Amino acid sequence: MRGDLIALARRHGDRRPDPARVPALAPVAAAALRLLAALAAGDALAPDDARLLVHALGDRDDEVRDAAEDGLRELGAAVAGELVEAAAYGRRAGRDRALALLRDLPVTDAALDRMIAAELELLDRTLARLVELERLGAPLVTRRAEERIREIGFTLLLLLAARHRGAALPACARLWQHAVDGGARARALEILDAALPRAVATRVVGALDEGPRDERSAAAAARLDDAPPARDAAIRAELAAGDRLGRALLVHALGAAGRAAYRDAIAEAARAAARDLSPLALLRRITDPEDDEAEDDVPTQVETLLLLGNLPLLSQLTTRQLAELAERVRWVDADAGDVVVAAGELVDALIVVASGALRVDDPAAPRSLGAGAALDELAVVAPQPAPAAVVADQPSRLLRLDRLDFEELVDDVPGLGAAVCRALGARARR
C-alpha cells in the first residue's frame, strides 16, 4: 500500500518538462509533493525523489513551490546535498529558495561535520585518480575531472560556511565559484585559511590548493593512506563515481576496444544509476523513444558537446554548461543542393557543420564550410540576414541551436552568460 502511494505521489508531483505526458494541475502536484515528503520522512529517500522535490522549488506556481519547500524542510538534513547542488548549479528560479532552505535547515553541527568529512574524502578520491585520467589523452575527461574537483570544493565551502558562521566564508565560496583562473582561487584559499580554525584550515586548504597534477594526486592518496591508483583502478573508479557527465565523457573516450574491456564496470555503473531512479523515472528511461536503435545514427550528447566545445564563442564554458546547451540542440540533415539558408533570411541560430560541407554563394566572398565550422557564431547573440544563400555542397548533417533556446539558458544556467562574455571580450581585444 505504501509503495503504491509513493508511486502515485511521484507521478502526480513531477512537473518536470516531458513531451510524453501532461503535467498535473498545480493543486494536485502540491498535494502529491506533500504526500511524497511525508512518506519519505524517516525512511531512505530515493535520490530521484530528492531531485524531484528540489526541482519543484523552481516551479512556476507558488502553491507547488511552497509544497516542495515544506516537504524539504520536513526531510531536513537528508536533502542537504541536493539543495547544495541546486543552490550552486540549479536553474535560476529555484536557486534562491534552495539557498534559503540550506540556511534554515535544522542540521546539527555533528551532521555538518559528517558531511564535510564525506566531501573531503570524495575530493581526495577524485584527486587521487586525476593523473591516470590525464594519461588517457582525452582533454575533456581531464577538464571535467578538474571541474568536478572545483565543484566539490564549492560544496565543501558552503558546508564550512554553514558550520563556521561568519561573513568571510560565504564571500570565500562566492569568490571560488566565480573564479576564472588559479589566481582567483588562490585568493579564496587565503580568505579560507584566515577564517577557519587552524586544524580545519590546514586540512581543507591542503585539499583545495592547486599545483602540478602528479603532486596533487600523490598528496590526496597519502591523505587516504593509500597509493595513487593504477590506470585500471582509476578508470573503474571514475566509471563508478556519481558524476554522470564525467562517466559519459570517459565512456566515449575509451573507444570501442576500451568499452569492451570495461564492459562489466560500465554495466554496473548503469545498474547503479538505475537503482538511484524512482520506478516511474526508470520506466520513462526504458521506454524513451530516443533510446531506440532506430536513432543510433543521431549524435550522442557527448558528441554534441565536443562539437560545441570547439567553437571559439563557447570556449570558456564548462562541460556542465556545454551539456546544458547540447540538450537543446536540434539536428538537421541536408541533401546535396538543398538551400539551408536563403539569401536575406534572418539567421538567428547557431548552425554548425557536423559532417559534409556547405557553400556560401556570395559573389563578393564565396566560401566553403567543412566539418566543425559554424555558419555565423554570433548569430545566436546578434541575428542578422544572410548576405547570400547557403547551400549544401554534399549530404550534410547540421547542428542547430536556436537563439531563443540559447537566451533562455543564458538567463537560467549559472555562469553561462558570463562565460560567453569572456569569450567575446577576448575576441574584441585581438
Q: Which domains does the chain have, with CATH numbers?
A: 2-104 (1.25.10), 109-271 (no CATH), 301-429 (2.60.120.10)
**Which of these, 4, 52, 51, lies nearest to 24 by C-alpha position?**
52
**Which of these, 41, 43, 48, lies nearest to 72 by C-alpha position?**
41
> What contacts 117, CB < 8 A, 6 or more positions away?
none
* pLDDT band at residue 93 under the 50/70/90 scheme: confident
CA–CA dist 72, 50 (Å, integer): 8
Q: Which of 40-49, 229-238, 378-387, 420-429 has the lowest mean pLDDT?
A: 40-49
User: Whole-prediction pTM value?
Assistant: 0.79
268-298 CB burial, b ≥16 within 10 A, e <16 = ebeeeeeebbbebbeeeeeeeeeeeeeeeee
User: What is the maximal distance between C-alpha atoms in the chain?
Assistant: 73
Question: CB-based burial of residue 210 (10 Å sphere; 0-12 exposed, 13-18 middle, 19+ buried)?
Answer: middle
pLDDT at residue 420 is higher than 60 = yes
CA–CA dist 161, 315 (Å, integer): 32
With the C-alpha atoms ordered 259, 263, 269, 271, is the resulting torsion angle positive or negative? positive
pLDDT at residue 10 is higher than 80 = no
Provide the grid cell at 229. Answer: 591508483
* pLDDT band at residue 4 under the 50/70/90 scheme: confident
* pLDDT band at residue 271 under the 50/70/90 scheme: confident
**Are 315 and 309 in contact, with CB atoms under 8 Å apart?**
yes
Phi, psi of 333 (to 5 degrees): -100, 135
Torsion angle of C-alpha atoms 48, 52, 54, 56, degrees rounded to 10:
170
Q: How far is CA 77 from CA 32, 186, 403, in A?
A: 21, 31, 40
**What mean pLDDT comes out for the span 156-178?**
87
pLDDT reported for residue 18: 57
CA–CA dist 161, 188 (Å, integer): 13
**What mean pLDDT comes out for the span 26-42?**
82
* pLDDT band at residue 282 under the 50/70/90 scheme: very low
* pLDDT band at residue 20 under the 50/70/90 scheme: low
* pLDDT band at residue 279 under the 50/70/90 scheme: very low
* Angle (deg, nearest 10), helices 168-178 and 139-163: 170
**What mean pLDDT comes out for the span 225-249?**
91
**Are 390 and 360 in contact, with CB atoms under 8 Å apart?**
yes
- Give residue-wise pLDDT tens across range 253-268: 999 999 999 999 988 8
pLDDT reported for residue 343: 94
**What mean pLDDT comes out for the span 169-180?**
89
**Which of these, 117, 77, 141, lies nearest to 203 by C-alpha position?**
117
- Give residue-wise pLDDT tens across range 349-368: 999 999 999 999 988 888 99
Amino acid sitting at position 95: R
Q: How far is CA 303 from CA 325, 327, 338, in A?
A: 12, 12, 25
- Give residue-wise pLDDT tens across range 112-126: 898 899 999 999 999
Percent share of the chain, pLDDT over 90: 51
* Mean of the per-residue pLDDT values of the chain: 85
pLDDT reported for residue 394: 95
Residue in the block written with cell 574584441 = 428
Looking only at the bridges linking them, the beta strands covering 390-392 and 358-360 are antiparallel
pLDDT at residue 8 is higher than 90 = no
pLDDT reported for residue 36: 83
Other C-beta atoms lying within 10 Å of the C-beta of residue 379: 21
Residue in the block written with cell 594519461 = 135
